[in-house]
Amino acid sequence: MSVVQSFDLTGKVALVTGGTKGIGRAVATGLAQAGAGLATVSRRPDPEFEQEVTALGRAYEHFAADLTHREQTKTVVPAVLEKMGRIDILVNCAGICPRTEVLDFAEADWDATLEIDLTASFVLTQKAGADMLSRGWGKVINVASVLAFQGGRNVPAYAAAKHGLLGLTKSFANDWAAKGVNVNAIAPGYFSTDLTSDLWQDPERYQAILERIPARRWGQGSDIAGLALFLASPASDYVNGSVFTVDGGWMSL
């Protein structure tokens, strides 16, 4: 197999949570462009996105679930396996990020954030991983954040969840590396998505962040799609438990 051929995902099935918006949508699109059939999980379907994927000639299914509710999370993998027969690639991208001064941060926001940003990744990885292990090949990509290394401001639950996600990544990778299943993480910096809308709609905060980024721009979904394709493909078969920052140089300062 040539290097170029090792990026071909024809015949593979990818499950992407949060796959109809923002970074998740960009990653899902890239995987479909590379040949993968696609399953996305979000609270609501996006008919326009479905048309984009099916226009590529790829199989596509959307699964509606609220991952803040664990019982709904547990239904996702069995439903995907029933409809699509297999899961070769799992991208844990769904997440929320309530912003409140730490003294006023509500326990309900803490619980919801930890459930979707960390626990759902554990549950889905465990269940999808069982299918991957049965065939001796699979890829799990956890979408973390540069706040997996930092504390951020007014986001204690999000920072805690993303720190935890890196530990989860390394733990699963250690157990599965010799069994043909790779588990890795991507840590985005500041991207223009719905999750950060309160930041980029605040001119002062937006400018302060921009000036801190060596690349002098916020990220776009397309900035992550290529790395995700690498981690989802046979090209990364010897990459285990690694975390890749995609942040315009944010963490290098």
Residues of the chain above pLDDT 90, percent:
94
Mean pLDDT value across the chain: 97
Q: Check: CB of residue 28 under 8 Å from CB of residue 14.
A: yes
Instruction: Examine residue 162 and state whether it is found in any structural domain, yes or no.
Output: yes
The confidence score (pLDDT) of residue 216 equals: 97
What residues have CB less than 8 Å from 29, skipping those under 6 apart?
Answer: 52, 53, 225
The confidence score (pLDDT) of residue 109 equals: 98
32-41 pLDDT, tens per residue? 999 999 999 9
Q: Which residues of 178-210 are buried (b: 16+ CB within 10 A; e: fewer)?
A: eeebbbbbbbbbbbbbebbeebbeeeeebeebe
Containing domain of residue 34, as a range? Answer: 5-246
86-143 pLDDT, tens per residue? 999 999 999 999 999 999 999 999 999 999 999 999 999 999 999 999 999 999 999 9
Instruction: Examine residue 54 and state whether it is found in any structural domain, yes or no.
Output: yes
Instruction: Examine residue 188 and state whether it is found in any structural domain, yes or no.
Output: yes
Three-class SS of residue 75? Answer: helix
Task: State the angle between helix axes of 156-176 and 120-135 in degrees (0 to 180), rounded to the nearest 10.
Answer: 20
> How far is it, in rounded angstroms, from Cα 128 to Cα 3?
27
Catalytic residue among 60, 158, 190, 238: 158
Instruction: Examine residue 251 and state whether it is found in any structural domain, yes or no.
Output: no
145-192 pLDDT, tens per residue? 999 999 999 999 999 999 999 999 999 999 999 999 999 999 999 998
14-25 pLDDT, tens per residue? 999 999 999 999
238 a catalytic residue: no
Residue 193 C-beta-side C-alpha neighbours within 13 Å: 25
Instruction: Examine residue 252 and state whether it is found in any structural domain, yes or no.
Output: no
Is the pLDDT assigned to residue 200 strictly greater than 90?
no
> How far is it, in rounded angstroms, from Cα 215 to Cα 194?
21
Nearest to 249 by CA among 230, 228, 223: 223
Instruction: Examine residue 10 and state whether it is found in any structural domain, yes or no.
Output: yes
What CATH number is given to the structural domain containing 53? 3.40.50.720
> How many domains is the chain partitioned into structurally?
1
Q: What is the C-alpha end-to-end distance of the chain, expressed in Å? A: 39
The confidence score (pLDDT) of residue 198 equals: 84
Is the pLDDT assigned to residue 6 strictly greater than 90?
yes
Q: What is the mean pLDDT of residues 68-84?
A: 98
Instruction: Examine residue 156 and state whether it is found in any structural domain, yes or no.
Output: yes
Is the pLDDT assigned to residue 195 strictly greater than 90?
no
Which value, in Å, is the radius of gyration of the alpha carbons in the chain?
17
Place of tokens 């046979």: 234
Instruction: Examine residue 191 and state whether it is found in any structural domain, yes or no.
Output: yes
